[in-house]
Amino acid sequence: MEKWPLIKSYFDQASFVDQEIASFNQFVDEKLPEIVKENDTVIPKIEEVKIELSDIEVLKPRIVEADGSPRTDFYPMEARIRNRTYSGPIFITMKMLRRNVEQDVRRAYIGELPIMLKSNRCWLNGKNAEELIEMGEDPMDFGGYFVVNGSEKALMTQEVLSSDRVLISTSATEDVISEVISTKGAFKGRVRVIRKKDGSFDVKFPSSPRKLSLFTLLKALGLESQKQIMDAFPDDKIVKNDLLLNWEELDVKKQEEALDKIGKSVAPGQIIDYRLKRAQEVIDGFLLPHIGQDKEDRIAKAHYLVMMATKSIEQAYDLRDEDDKDHYANKRLELSGKLMEHLFRYAFKYFAKDLKFQIDRTITRRRKLNISTVVRPDAITERIRFAMATGNWIGRATGVSKFMDRVNYLSPLTDIRKVKSPLNKNRELYEARDVHGTHWGRLGPIETPDGPQCGLVKNLSLLAKVTTDASEKNVEKILEKQGVKLE
């Protein structure tokens, strides 16, 4: 059977960059309101003032000329010729309260967001070939990139380890490590349950004490009695053997003692009430935040740690295999929308911080306080534009934004479908560079550069497609209908 007519018919409906455009659309429509919700209340040091933020909106690109007159017919070709950034204005509803009394409500302009060509917020979206030619565009151009300071910039897809997925590995000292990258908003915390050669368990997570035993943490989380802990684990002789060994070494009897032991490490030299409070804050905030960050989520966290420990025991007795970090099921690709989400979250947090500073300064100088005087739109615009112009991203990533090569028709296509690994290019890392069986049909095994980047920079296959984030709620509804109890 001749395959090319089939491939041609596929590309009549689909584009090489559909996933990038879908990812950016999801960022603007769904993720921006989520980021605003995370930081929806700004409380400055002067406590009687409070600002509430809601209803963020990004408009189509426009330009303000030198004489101050705005123009909405601002197309990508003009941005290229005049060395401007093809960006849309961001508006947000700001409500200022003083002693819980509403003082001022305004739809405020808070900055500019670079707009991806052919996305929902772009003037080129939905235009036919004649209209595109009239706007100065090539009808064969696929979009999926940005115009920043007149230069065409493509964001390179980043290959990262999957969040909220437990992976089992064995260290050089034969300790079995069960780890998960727990993600909540901008926070990523690596949580490890370590089973040592002698069968004892330690837990490590951000801000945790250096040597924290698993059973101490389970007690602190609310599994107080021996029966509660034993019942949480599977009823298996091999598992129970390890548990009894850890129970004998446990040096705390009550939940308060367990919390105090953690508190002595995170708040040394403080009174007991403060130590207990700090221990609870650390457990709620930094231990498995993807499960939740409230007091009610502690039992769920305890059961999650039990599951991680059980997997470690099974691996120690060769009842399960180690997880392969190079297997593509354990990887995720961060497309343009996800990368812009990381960048905007950082810029918006800085904007909220700057808002606090401007309010405090206005009040201490005894000037009239209103929304228009405290909002500084440059706070967001400058940070986003700097990252996109230089390629220096959040989390010390470099080369994320790349000047798009226009030498021939294929060059920009390969640029926009490149996949970059964050691993250090100066290290050998033979296994990470190798072609893995799960790359089949997803990544082109030949298209990779020579030299230090070999195997770390890859390219998506011709027909490979990357899906965007989906809501967990829909899956939970299906499970509930099937009679699964969600705890």
Give tens-digit pLDDT for 172-212. Answer: 887 888 999 998 877 888 999 999 888 889 999 988 888 88
Output the DSSP codes for 196-248: -TTS-EEEE-TT--SSEEHHHHHHHHT--SHHHHHHHS-S-HHHHHHHHHHHH
Structure confidence at residue 304 (pLDDT): 93
Q: Looking at the predicted structure, is the pLDDT value of residue 436 above 70?
A: yes
More confident residue, 35 or 372: 35
Residue 90's pLDDT band (cuts 50, 70, 90)? very high
Q: Looking at the predicted structure, is the pLDDT value of residue 423 above 70?
A: yes
pLDDT in tens, 325-362: 999 999 999 999 999 999 999 999 999 999 989 888 88
Q: Looking at the predicted structure, is the pLDDT value of residue 308 above 90?
A: yes
Which of 223-232, 280-289, 332-341, 345-354 has the lowest average pLDDT? 223-232
* Percent of the chain whose pLDDT exceeds 70: 99
H/E element, 52: strand 49-58
H/E element, 143: none
Any idea of the CA torsion for 163, 165, 170, 176, to the nearest 10 degrees? 120
Structure confidence at residue 341 (pLDDT): 93
Structure confidence at residue 249 (pLDDT): 81
Structure confidence at residue 1 (pLDDT): 65
Same fold, 15-160+332-460 and 167-316: no
Task: For the chain, give every domain's residue range.
Answer: 15-160+332-460, 167-316
Give the start-end residues of each E strand in 122-195.
146-148, 151-155, 157-161, 167-170, 176-184, 187-195
Task: Mention every residue, 6+ apart, whose C-beta is less than 8 A from residue 381.
Answer: 87, 111, 112
Under a CB-based contact definition with an 8 Å cutoff, are residues 359 and 368 in contact? Answer: no
pLDDT averaged over every residue in the chain: 89
Q: For 167-316, CATH number?
A: 3.90.1110.10
pLDDT in tens, 132-179: 999 999 998 999 999 999 999 999 999 999 998 999 998 888 788 899
Residue 47's pLDDT band (cuts 50, 70, 90)? low
Structure confidence at residue 145 (pLDDT): 94
Residue 87's pLDDT band (cuts 50, 70, 90)? very high
Is domain 15-160+332-460 in CATH 3.30.390.30, yes or no?
Answer: no
